[in-house]
Amino acid sequence: MRYLSFLAALSLPLAPALATEEAVPAAEPKPAALIADGMPEVPGDLAAATRPYLENRGAGFVAWHPRDRSILISTRFSNTAQIHRVATPMGARKQLTFEAEPVRGGIWAPRTADIMLVQKDIGGNEFFQIYAMKNGQLELLTDGKSRNGLNAWSKDGELIAYTSTRRNGRDTDIYVMNPRSPSTARMAAEVQGGGWFVADFSADKSWALVGKYTSVQKSDLFRLDLATGKMTPIGDHKKTVSLGGASIAPDGTIWVTSDEGNDFQRLGTMDPMTGKFTPRGPAEKWDVDSFDIAEDGSFIAYVVNEAGMSKLRLFDPASGSVRTVDALPAGIIGGLEIAPWGDIGISFTSARSAADAYSIDPRTLAVTRWTESETGGLDVSQNVEPELVKVKSFDGLEVSGFLYRPDPGKFPGKRPLIMSVHGGPEGQSRPGFQGRNNYLLNELGVALFYPNVRGSTGYGKTFVSLDNGPFKREDSVKDMGAFLDHLAKDKALDAGRFGLTGGSYGGYMCYAAAIHYSDKLRANLCVVAISNFVTFLENTQDYRRDLRRVEYGDERDPVQRKKLTEISPLTRSGEIRKPLFVVTGANDPRVPASEADQIVAAVRKNGGTAWHLVGTNEGHGFAKKENADYNFWSSLLFWKRNLLN
């Protein structure tokens, strides 16, 4: 290890001045925005040893420039992710935005490319504003206070459609604007609820295709007359159907992904009057995650999620033929967009590849790499590939997850394991790049397991519904127990040294596991986590409260409130006896910081150990590198004390 050799060299006799300059500090300085409550300082040597693993970065494909054929990417060279331009494959990354906060979603005006729009919030509060890039500066286009979502450009690049809570802080009304003249902004439709979005404009801009997301199992489409504001439902909205995406083809055909008549999302067309869904293309056995339509309508690129791995296919609507892009290795595809000239832009990542931008030639299916992100000087080809683990849960349901094992040659004998539960709960653990977590695998010999419990997406609408409401909620907790029992029998794992972590809903699962499986776990690290479903639902931001009630239950109903209280970790906090580490974003609009405060106080009152790290300039997770680094070092210290010793 090059870094260890460097540290060893510091012990050699050196000139006093050099020795002073290179000395590793006794404690790593804590970023000013972090509050470390009831937890030790981070040793300087721990921070120094991990440094190469913290210097990896990814480059996510964001958008094509419609004229000069360059791309926009999102990557980080300082403390936060910013928008960069890359003119040619493997060309220089020219930074365009220079903000203290992460900048998201840069996109040029179609055809004209005379203006670029981005979104940004403050301190992770998710009250996003829309900005135009002008002369290297961001010009505010929205009100600076409400939550705004940039949805769609008109096909000629004149108008944008966006949603905003500016009317009452709760409902996501629909607006249109010519972003070159912010005073043209007007409300196109007043709506109720927080799940509205504009999917596309008609070619003549007379109407827009509007979606309403109610839950992971139900979403509906409408035709919005942009002159009158009249909203006409498309199809029968009494049906429980999930639509994953929607777009208008050049010939006016509405293309969607839908699970109508199937357990999985399929690509197809929707009749604009009756709403009848007609599947198109091959009968995929997994979800179609995303799609985009070529500007001339000659083909549609779509991504299939096959048990967590992505497959990119090109569908010809005229002939019905399908081609698969086989030149990409096993991994995960995101950011799909077809350029006006036909090239397909994507982001791609795998266990042995940080996220980078690629393009595909639709004629030859040749893949071109546009960026090669730094990995801290480490050889990513040595990273561990995961294995798929399947188990039967308490009721016979098959659940699965991805297990990463450390090198048995380097780490012989039984190894400790950390289970990491995803959030959502409508999320999915997929085998992507592990980043800094590779330090746990490669340097500490800790196995990592990522379960997909019932309620996860990617396995069909029946599977995703199995944890809905308060009375089914703990069935997913029992799935964790089934995984722990199975992994305890693995001869390469040390069942006496298991830990568990998770964020958001996975954070709730983390608290629940600390209670239900205290005999199977040594410690728990819970991030931006729900501790009491009632107080969570009462205090989450207004615009998302009803959306969460559909998933978790309605705290206003006495019967459901009783059950929500019963299954809340705070109710049984006295049973948390193993060490607990809680991580919180003070500005979190989803899971308020009070959720962490109340369980930390309860555990300590009961005589338990609870570390608490608070990011005062963070929201639902740490987005700033200096904070994320310190959080990682603190987590390593926590695991070393409670799992490795």
Question: Does the bond joining 425 to the residue before it have cis omega, within 30 degrees of 0?
Answer: yes
Question: 535 pLDDT exceeds 70?
Answer: yes
Please count the residues of the chain. 645
Q: For residue 19, what pLDDT is reported? A: 34
Q: What's the half-sphere exposure (Cβ side, CA atoms, 13 Å) at 299?
A: 23
Closest-CA residue to 366 (of 349, 340, 344): 344
Confidence of residue 208 (pLDDT cuts 50, 70, 90): very high
Written as one letter, the residue type at 407 is D
Query: Rounded to two decimals, what is the model's pTM?
Result: 0.93
Q: What is the mean pLDDT of the chain?
A: 94
Q: H/E element holding 390?
A: strand 387-392
Query: 375 versus 613: which is more confidently predicted?
Result: 613
Give per-residue pLDDT as tens, 596-642. 999 999 999 999 999 999 999 999 999 999 999 999 999 999 999 99
Q: For residue 331, what pLDDT is reported? A: 94
The C-alpha atoms of residue 601 and residue 595 are separated, in whole angstroms, by 10
Sheet holding 266-270, edge to edge: 243-248, 254-258, 266-270, 277-279
Confidence of residue 371 (pLDDT cuts 50, 70, 90): very high
Give per-residue pLDDT as tens, 96-154. 999 999 998 899 999 999 999 999 999 999 999 999 998 889 999 999 999 999 999 99
Confidence of residue 23 (pLDDT cuts 50, 70, 90): low
Count of other CB atoms within 10 angstroms of residue 204: 10
3-state secondary structure of 453: coil
Contacts of 245 (CB under 8 A, 6+ apart): 199, 256, 257, 290, 291
Question: 27 pLDDT exceeds 50?
Answer: yes
Structure-token pair, residue 387? 């294995």
Confidence of residue 46 (pLDDT cuts 50, 70, 90): very high
Question: How many helices (H) and strands (E) in the chain?
Answer: 12, 37
Question: 12 pLDDT exceeds 50?
Answer: no
Q: What's the half-sphere exposure (Cβ side, CA atoms, 13 Å) at 328?
A: 29
Q: For residue 638, what pLDDT is reported? A: 98
**Distances from the Cα of 36 to the Cαs of 41, 586, 597, 620, in angstroms?**
8, 13, 13, 17
Q: For residue 236, what pLDDT is reported? A: 94
The C-alpha atoms of residue 365 and residue 313 are separated, in whole angstroms, by 10
Beta-bridge partner residues of 173: 164
Confidence of residue 24 (pLDDT cuts 50, 70, 90): low
Written as one letter, the residue type at 551 is E
Give per-residue pLDDT as tens, 255-292. 999 999 999 999 999 999 999 999 999 999 999 999 99
Query: 9 versus 301: which is more confidently predicted?
Result: 301
Structure-token pair, residue 54? 């913290």
Least confident of 3-12, 314-323, 373-382: 3-12
Written as one letter, the residue type at 390 is K
φ and ψ of 446, to 5 deg:
-100, 125
The C-alpha atoms of residue 560 and residue 564 are separated, in whole angstroms, by 6
Q: For residue 13, what pLDDT is reported? A: 29
Confidence of residue 376 (pLDDT cuts 50, 70, 90): confident
Least confident of 1-10, 305-314, 559-568, 577-586: 1-10
- 537-541: average pLDDT: 96
Structure-token pair, residue 101? 């906060």
- Percent of the chain at pLDDT > 70 equals 96
Burial state string for 240-265 with b = 16 or more CB within 10 A and e = fewer than 16: ebbbbbbbbbeeebbbbbbbbebebb
Spacing of C-alpha 77 from chain mean position: 20
